[in-house]
């Protein structure tokens, strides 16, 4: 079962907003066994939209459309769909009542332009919008399903989860797609591919392996396609187990979650706590951890010790250490990790100090030089990394390296 997604709006094409709708929809649809053939973004131009619809219908069974359903003149999706299907626009009573109720709820007068939002192509089935005034529309024409939804993300998401996906499951016989993700750290995709080449060659035609690299990490995603899920799951698990055994210590999780969530889950299950002392990462590690609900059960805080005086006064790095070895050194990283561990009274700590760039480097400590240390009450481990000259990439790589070192220490304890 193949689908295409078309997002409509000049604001996407000029970069004013990022198309998060397509990524979210693709993920949800894939879970239901619907494979995305193509994703397109088109301008607020009728002919452009008409061409995109015709092309999508030639390739896919289901076409999802978001955007262009608002009350202003640049919102032309409904008119374009009416032209595409060669039908008239009509007032839908359910959609009109929905709009009336929304304006009544907020005690605001309804304008004629808002009333027109209840107009829909006469051949559609209306999908009521419980979170806005623009209705969604479901078309079943010539064996193709078209679903048009608002571009406002939370309106589209509720509509998809509450109505569209349940309806798709009732009208279509959907195949089974099962995914298994293995998160690895510290090894590039080409090296991983070489290590597991024979396993990949053994995969049957209905199981595919994808390499998804991301700044010091590679997700290995196994995808299996079948009509019988029970047997399929067993085969998928067998191949995943072979890969995990082969890749070994570079595997940090067997689920599709961010690296920092692996840390949080592992430590929360064991009642452990974490603190951080950050220099070149400037609070990025704390940001990654605290974006997850419930992180306070593990993460107690971070000291952003950018200046040397803060390293001394806040977490107790010795003045002589900074004088003799400098801020970017193994000795400083270790004292940062041990100092924040002691001051914050946590089970484990992370410390990062380095030269993020693009300037500030020297001959013996070039841009991209980073020292990371992790500690618990009985052991401190430190390691030097040499990254590139891109500031944000160096910060991200430093965080990944710190989390991987922490996971390694956690597994040793």
Mind listing the pLDDT tens digit for each residue in 267-321?
999 999 999 999 999 999 999 999 999 999 999 999 999 999 999 999 999 999 9
259-412, superfamily in CATH?
CinA-like (3.90.950.20)
Mind listing the pLDDT tens digit for each residue in 63-77?
999 999 887 788 899
Tell whether the model's pLDDT for residue 229 goes beyond 60: no
Per-state percent for the chain, helix, strand, coil, to nearest 5? 45, 25, 30
Confidence of residue 150 (pLDDT cuts 50, 70, 90): very high
248 torsion bin: left (phi>0), alpha (psi -120 to 50), beta (else) = left
Percent of the chain scored above 90 by pLDDT? 83
Which pTM was predicted?
0.78
CATH number of 176-253: 3.30.70.2860
Q: What is the C-alpha separation between 355 and 31, in angstroms, rounded?
A: 42
What pLDDT, on the 0 to 100 scale, is given for residue 227?
Answer: 58
Give the E-state strand segments of 97-242 in sequence order: 119-121, 125-127, 136-141, 144-149, 176-185, 207-214, 217-226
Mean pLDDT, the chain, whole residue set: 94
What pLDDT, on the 0 to 100 scale, is given for residue 225?
Answer: 83
Roughly what angle, to the nearest 10 degrees, separates helices 330-344 and 308-315? Answer: 40
Tell whether the model's pLDDT for residue 226 goes beyond 80: no
Lowest mean pLDDT among 48-52, 91-95, 140-144: 91-95
What pLDDT, on the 0 to 100 scale, is given for residue 131?
Answer: 86
Q: What is the C-alpha separation between 304 and 323, in angstroms, rounded?
A: 20
- The distance in angstroms from the start CA to the end CA of the chain is 48
Domain boundaries in the chain? 2-171, 176-253, 259-412
Q: What is the C-alpha separation between 239 and 244, in angstroms, rounded?
A: 9
Tell whether the model's pLDDT for residue 35 goes beyond 60: yes
* Torsion angles phi and psi, residue 11, rounded to 5: -65, -25
Of 338, 261, 337, 273, which Cα lies nearest the Cα of 300? 273
Q: What is the topology classification, in CATH, of domain 2-171?
A: Molybdenum Cofactor Biosythetic Enzyme; Chain A (3.40.980)
Q: Are strands 144-149 and 62-66 parallel, antiparallel or unpaired?
A: parallel
């Amino acid at each position: 079962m193949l689908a295409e997604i078309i997002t409509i709006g000049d604001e996407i094409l000029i970069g004013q907003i990022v198309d998060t709708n397509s990524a979210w929809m693709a993920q949800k649809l894939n879970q239901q066994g619907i494979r995305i053939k193509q994703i397109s973004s088109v301008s607020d131009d009728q002919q452009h939209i008409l061409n995109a619809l015709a092309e999508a219908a030639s390739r896919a069974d289901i076409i999802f459309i978001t955007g262009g359903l608002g009350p202003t003149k640049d919102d032309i999706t409904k008119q374009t769909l009416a032209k595409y299907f060669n039908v008239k626009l009509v007032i839908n009573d359910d959609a009109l009542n929905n709009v009336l109720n929304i304006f009544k709820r907020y005690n605001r007068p309804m304008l004629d332009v808002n009333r027109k939002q209840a107009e829909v192509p006469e051949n559609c089935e209306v999908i009521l919008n419980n979170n806005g005034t623009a209705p969604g529309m479901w078309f079943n024409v010539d064996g193709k399903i078209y679903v048009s939804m608002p571009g406002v993300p939370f309106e589209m998401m509720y509509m998809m989860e509450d109505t569209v996906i349940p309806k798709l499951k009732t009208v279509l016989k959907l195949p089974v797609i099962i995914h298994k993700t293995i998160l690895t750290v510290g090894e590039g995709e080409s090296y991983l591919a070489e290590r597991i080449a024979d396993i990949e060659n053994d995969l049957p035609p209905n199981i595919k392996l994808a390499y998804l690299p991301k700044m010091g990490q590679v997700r290995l995603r196994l995808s299996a396609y079948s009509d019988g899920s029970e047997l399929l799951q067993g085969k998928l698990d067998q191949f995943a187990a072979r890969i995990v055994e082969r890749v070994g210590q570079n595997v940090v999780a067997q689920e599709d979650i961010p690296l920092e969530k692996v840390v949080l889950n592992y430590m929360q299950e064991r009642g452990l706590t974490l603190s951080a002392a950050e220099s070149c990462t400037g609070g990025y590690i704390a940001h990654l951890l605290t974006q997850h609900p419930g992180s306070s059960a593990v993460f107690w805080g971070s000291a952003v010790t950018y200046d040397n005086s803060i390293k001394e006064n806040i977490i107790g790095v010795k003045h002589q250490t900074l004088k003799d070895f400098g801020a970017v050194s193994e000795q400083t990283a270790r004292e940062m990790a041990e100092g924040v561990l002691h001051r914050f009274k946590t089970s484990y700590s992370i410390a990062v100090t380095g030269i993020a760039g693009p300037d500030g480097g020297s001959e013996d400590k070039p841009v991209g030089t980073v020292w990371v240390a992790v500690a618990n009450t009985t052991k401190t481990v430190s390691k030097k990394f040499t990254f590139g000259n891109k500031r944000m990439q160096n910060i991200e790589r430093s965080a990944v390296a710190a989390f991987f070192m922490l996971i390694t220490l956690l597994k040793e304890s």
